Amino acid sequence: MTERLSSLLRDEADDLSIPSAPTGAVLAEGRKRVRQRRVGLASMAAVAIIGAGALVQATHGQDRAAVVLDPAAAPNANEWAVAQGSTVHLGSGATVDVPGQIKSMYYTSAGTLVRVGASPYTDGPHTNGSSYWLAHPDGTLSDPRISLGDRVPGTDPTLPYLAYVDKGSDARHWTVKIRDVRTGDVVREIPIEGTFTWGGWAAPPAALSGDHVYVGVDGTLLDVLWRTGQVAKTSVPEHMPETRGGREVVSYDKSGKIQVVDMVSGQVIKTLTFDPNVGFYWYPQLSTDGTHLVMLPSADCTGGTCTYEGQPTRVIDLATGKSQTTSLEYGAFGWSATGRLLMVDGHTVKSCDPDTMKCDATPVELDGSGPIRVSGNDNES
Question: Per-residue pLDDT for 328 more than 80?
Answer: yes
Q: What is the pLDDT of residue 66?
A: 59
Domain boundaries, the chain: 246-286+289-324
Stretch 152-174: mean pLDDT? 97
Q: Is 214 exposed, middle or buried (0-12, 13-18, 19+ CB in 10 A)?
A: buried
Predicted confidence band at 314 (pLDDT cuts at 50, 70, 90)? Answer: very high
Distance CA 275, CA 284 (A): 16
Query: Which is more confidently placed, 13 or 188?
Result: 188
pTM for this prediction: 0.82
Distance CA 162, CA 215 (A): 13
Q: What is the pLDDT of residue 259?
A: 97
Torsion of CA 287, 196, 164, 334, to 10 degrees: -20
DSSP of 113-135, one letter per residue? EEEEESSS-TTSTTGGG-EEEEE
Which phi and psi angles does 38 have, rounded to 5°? Answer: -65, -35
Q: What is the pLDDT of residue 128?
A: 61
Q: Could you give the 3-state DSSP secondary structure of residue 105?
A: strand
CATH class of segment(s) 246-286+289-324: mainly beta
Question: Per-residue pLDDT for 358 more than 50?
Answer: yes
